[in-house]
C-alpha cells in the first residue's frame, strides 16, 4: 500500500496530554470546597470510573456535603475547563508535536479517537494548537458503544478512508489497546505513569516516550 493509504490514530487523554493529574487537581479542589478531603492514593482507585460512581461515593461517605453528586460533577467540569484554558503550566506531552510532524512528513494521514466529549476534544486540540494535524476526529461520547469496543477506531478509519489493517493506534490504556486489536489494527502502547496501572501487553510495541516511535 502507498503511505497515503495508511494512517495513525491517536487516543487523546494520556497520549496527547496528561489529563489525569488535571482531573485529580480539579476533583480535590471541588471536594475541599465542600469540606471533603481525599488522598491521592484513594483518588487513584477511581481512575477510569464514572462521575456518578466517584461523586456518589463521596456524597455517601460524607453526609455533611451540602450538594448532590450531580452538582459536584458539574462544578468539577467547569473548573477542569477553566484550568485547561487558563493554566499555562499545562502542556502537551513531550514529543507529541514532533511525533505528529514525523508522521505527517512521512506521508501518513492522522486521525483521533477519544472517549472524551467533542467539547473537550475541541478544547484540548485548540489549547495546544494541534487541530491541523488531524483529518478525522471522533468522540466516543457520540457513539452507542465505547472502548474496549472497536467501533470508535473503525469509525475513524472509515472517515479517513483507510482500511483497518493499515491503521496504527497509539493508546495508553488497556481498554484502548483492546479496542484497537478488536478493530484489526496495529497498536503502540504508550506507557504513561500518570494513566494508572494499565495492562498494555496486547499492543504490538510498548514505548515510554513518543521519541521511541519510529515512522
- Contact of 200 with 174, CB cutoff 8 Å: yes
- Distances, alpha carbon 175 to alpha carbons 101, 147, 152, in Å: 27, 6, 12
11 classed as catalytic = yes
Which residue among 2, 11, 18, 142 is the active-site one? 11
Which residue among 2, 13, 172, 204 is the active-site one? 13
Q: Which three cell numbers stand for residue 25?
A: 487537581
Residue 41, burial from CB neighbour count under 10 angstroms (0-12, 13-18, 19+): exposed
CA distance 173 to 200: 7
Coil/strand/helix, residue 211: helix
- Distances, alpha carbon 71 to alpha carbons 35, 53, 117, in Å: 15, 14, 19
Q: Could you give the angle at the alpha carbon of 16 between the alpha carbons of 128 and 46, nearest 5°? A: 120
53 classed as catalytic = no
110 phi and psi, to 5 degrees? -130, 135
Which residues are annotated as catalytic? 11, 13
Amino acid at each position: 500500500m502507498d503511505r497515503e493509504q495508511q494512517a495513525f490514530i491517536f487516543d487523546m487523554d494520556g497520549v496527547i496530554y496528561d489529563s489525569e493529574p488535571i482531573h485529580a487537581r480539579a476533583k480535590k479542589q471541588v471536594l475541599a470546597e465542600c469540606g471533603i478531603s481525599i488522598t491521592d492514593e484513594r483518588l487513584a482507585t477511581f481512575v477510569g470510573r464514572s462521575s456518578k460512581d466517584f461523586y456518589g461515593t463521596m456524597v455517601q461517605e460524607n453526609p455533611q456535603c451540602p450538594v448532590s453528586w450531580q452538582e459536584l460533577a458539574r462544578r468539577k467540569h467547569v473548573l477542569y475547563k477553566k484550568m485547561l484554558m487558563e493554566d499555562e503550566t499545562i502542556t502537551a506531552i513531550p514529543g507529541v508535536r514532533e511525533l505528529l510532524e514525523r508522521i505527517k512528513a512521512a506521508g501518513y494521514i492522522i486521525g483521533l479517537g477519544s472517549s472524551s466529549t467533542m467539547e473537550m476534544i475541541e478544547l484540548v486540540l485548540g489549547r495546544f494548537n494541534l487541530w491541523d494535524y488531524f483529518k478525522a476526529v471522533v468522540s466516543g461520547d457520540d457513539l452507542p458503544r465505547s472502548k474496549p469496543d472497536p467501533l470508535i477506531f473503525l469509525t475513524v478509519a472509515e472517515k479517513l478512508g483507510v482500511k483497518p489493517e493499515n491503521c496504527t493506534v497509539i493508546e495508553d490504556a488497556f481498554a484502548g489497546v483492546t479496542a484497537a486489536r478488536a478493530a484489526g489494527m496495529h497498536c503502540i502502547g504508550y506507557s504513561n505513569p500518570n494513566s494508572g496501572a494499565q495492562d498494555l501487553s496486547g499492543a504490538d510495541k510498548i514505548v515510554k516516550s513518543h521519541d521511541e516511535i519510529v515512522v
